Chain A
Amino acid sequence: MLLKYKINSPLKRLIGLLSLGVILISLPFLIRSPYYLHLVIMACINIVLAMTFSLMFSAGLITLGAAAFWAIGAYASTVLVMNLGISFWLALPFAGMIAGIFAFAFGLIIVRTPGFIFVMETFVINMMVVHAFGHITQLGGWGGICGIPRPGAITIPFIYQITFATKIPYYYLILLILLMTVIVFYALHSSRIGTAWRSIKLNPGLAQTLGINLFRYRVMVFTIASAFAGLTGSFYAHYYETIEPETFIIFKSLYIQIYGILGGLNFYILGPTIGASIMTFAPEFLRITQEYEPIYTGSMLILLAIILPGGILSIPERISALSRQNKVKKVKQ
Chain B
Amino acid sequence: MAMLEIRDLNKYFGGLAAIKDLNLDVFNSEIVGLIGPNGAGKTTFFNVITGVYPPTLGSVLFMNQDITGLKTYKIAQFKIARNFQDSILFMKLSVLDNVVAGFHGNYKKAEWKSFMYIPSARKEERAAKRKALEILEFMGLASLKDELAANLPHGHQRILGICIALATNPKLLLLDEPATGMNPEETSNLIMLVKRIRDNGITIILVEHDMQAVMNLCNRIVVLNYGRKIAEGLPDEITKNEEVIEAYLGREEDYF
Contacts and interface: CB of A to CB of B under 8 A. Distances in A.
Answer yes or no: A and B touching, Cβ < 8 Å: yes
B152 to A, nearest CB: 15
B114 A209 contact: no
A212 B104 contact: yes
Given A187-B116, A193-B115, A202-B91, A208 B76 contact: yes
A320 interface: no
B108 to A, nearest CB: 12
Which among A193, A196, A211 has the greatest number of chain B C-beta atoms within 10 A? A211
A210 B107 contact: no
A205 interface: yes
A191 interface: yes
Contacts of A192: 104, 107, 111, 114-115, 121, 125
A97 B92 CA distance: 35
A188 interface: yes
Given A187-B116, A198-B90, 15 more contacts: A188-B115, A192-B111, A193-B111, A193-B114, A193-B115, A195-B104, A202-B92, A202-B93, A208-B71, A208-B76, A209-B50, A209-B73, A210-B101, A210-B168, A211-B73
Closest 7 CB pairs of A and B: A211-B105, A211-B76, A191-B114, A208-B72, A192-B114, A191-B115, A202-B90
Contacts of B167: 210
B163 interface: no
Interface in B40-90: 50, 71-73, 76-77, 81-82, 84, 88-90
24 contacts: A187-B115, A187-B117, A191-B111, A191-B114, A192-B104, A192-B114, A192-B121, A192-B125, A193-B115, A195-B104, A199-B101, A203-B88, A203-B91, A206-B84, A206-B88, A206-B90, A208-B71, A208-B72, A208-B73, A208-B76, A209-B72, A209-B73, A209-B81, A211-B104
A323 interface: no
Interface residues of A, number: 21
A202 B117 CA distance: 25
Contacts of A206: 84, 88-90, 164
Interface string B141-173: 000000000000000000000001101100000
Which among A188, A196, A206, A212 has the greatest number of chain B C-beta atoms within 10 A? A206
A213 interface: yes
B100 interface: yes
Contacts of A195: 100-101, 104
B102 interface: yes
B76 A209 contact: yes
B115 A209 contact: no
Contacts of A199: 90, 101, 104
A212 B117 CA distance: 21
Nearest to A213: B73
Interface of B: 50, 71-73, 76-77, 81-82, 84, 88-93, 100-102, 104-105, 107, 111, 114-117, 121, 125, 164-165, 167-168
A313 interface: no
Contacts of A213: 73
Interface string A202-245: 11011111111110000000000000000000000000000000
Nearest to A199: B101
Contacts of A203: 88-91
Nearest to B78: A211
B68 to A, nearest CB: 17
Contact of A210 (B76, B93, B115, B121): B76
B115 to A, nearest CB: 4
Contacts of B100: 195
Contacts of A191: 111, 114-115, 117, 121
B104 A210 contact: yes
A195 B121 CA distance: 14
A111 to B, nearest CB: 14
A202 B89 CA distance: 9
Given A187-B115, A191-B114, A192-B107, A210 B102 contact: yes
A208 B76 CA distance: 8
Nearest to B102: A210
A55 to B, nearest CB: 13
B171 to A, nearest CB: 13
Nearest to B100: A195
Interface string A71-113: 0000000000000000000000000000000000000000000
A198 B90 CA distance: 9
Contacts of A210: 73, 76, 101-102, 104-105, 164, 167-168
Contacts of B104: 192, 195-196, 199, 207, 210-212
Contact of A211 (B77, B84, B90, B117): B77
Contacts of A205: 88
A213 B73 CA distance: 6
